[in-house]
Amino acid sequence: MISRVWHGYARRDTADAYEALLREEVITGIEARSIDGFREIQVFRRDLGDEVEFITVMWFDSLDAVRAFAGEDHEASVVPPAARELLARFDERSQHYEVRERRIPGQRVG
């Protein structure tokens, strides 16, 4: 299992609009692609004062599944134009981690 981690930062006045876009269009669009090996996405939000940090964590079966999502340069960020307009800054590259242990009550994954 591979976890893909990405950070984006919005100004306080655009954070809610970015979160709505992320929920209603970006994630929905990812799900509509039905990427083989894509398992889930999690979104985290943290107020940092002048800006709001967003972290997305995506779960994939393999790096091949990540490439199916992001393209051959699988570390490149995938940020649609509408999202770029609402973000003040963001990671140009995503980080990928091999998941060595993942525990869900009643299950052992990883």
- Please list the pLDDT of the chain residue by residue as tens digits (110 residues): 999 999 999 999 999 999 999 999 999 999 999 999 999 999 999 999 999 999 999 999 999 999 999 999 999 999 999 999 999 999 999 999 999 988 888 876 65
CA 66, 70, 76, 82 dihedral sign is negative
Q: Which domains does the chain have, with CATH numbers?
A: 2-109 (3.30.70.100)
Q: What is the pLDDT of residue 96?
A: 98
Q: Are 8 and 18 in contact (CB under 8 A)?
A: yes
Q: What is the pLDDT of residue 109?
A: 61
C-alpha span between 47 and 65 (Å, rounded): 32
Which whole-number Å values give the CA distances from 101 to 27, 30, 46, 98, in the listed order?
Answer: 25, 25, 25, 9
Q: What is the pLDDT of residue 103?
A: 83
Q: Are 79 and 8 in contact (CB under 8 A)?
A: yes
